[in-house]
Amino acid sequence: MLKRTYPAILLFASIIPASAQAPAAPGKPLPPEPMQAKVKAACTQCHNTSRITEQHLTRQEWFAQFEKMEGLGAVIPDADRDAMLNYLVKNFGPQKGAARKSASPAN
């Protein structure tokens, strides 16, 4: 019995890590601006763009996300860091989250 189940366990075990790292779907598009390609390249190696577009963080919170993601293997060039942070705060800062909430119909 072990000879039959071992290959199945091995196959299943190899699929789980791969699926946990690969984005399931492209997600929502990022706004077209000069930093779009760099943000997309740095952030979508492990997850889709919805992970970005659904957050509405302050500059400090986005910076903390950079630190966290770099610890997990993301590559964020120092030369692009400020411009990428500006892009994220402009398009996905707390004010954008407030604007979306106020545009939602009241129940």
Q: So what's the pLDDT on residue 43?
A: 92
pLDDT per residue rounded down to tens, the chain (107 residues): 555 655 555 444 544 444 444 444 578 899 999 999 999 999 998 899 999 999 999 999 999 999 999 999 999 999 999 999 999 999 999 987 766 555 555 54
Q: Are 62 and 51 in contact (CB under 8 A)?
A: no
User: For residue 80, what is the enclosing H or E element?
Assistant: helix 78-92
Task: Give the domain ranges of the chain.
Answer: 44-99
Q: So what's the pLDDT on residue 17?
A: 46
Report CA-CA distances (Å) from 15 to 22, 60, 73, 103. 11, 35, 20, 41
Task: Please list, in sequence order, all residues whose beta carbon lies within 8 angstroms of the beta carbon of residue 82, skipping any fewer than 6 positions away.
Answer: none
Q: So what's the pLDDT on residue 3?
A: 59
Find where tokens 């299943």 sit: 12
pTM to 2 decimals? Answer: 0.68
Q: So what's the pLDDT on residue 16?
A: 45
Q: So what's the pLDDT on residue 79?
A: 97
Q: So what's the pLDDT on residue 28?
A: 87
How far is Cα 82 from Cα 104, in angstroms, rounded to an integer? 32
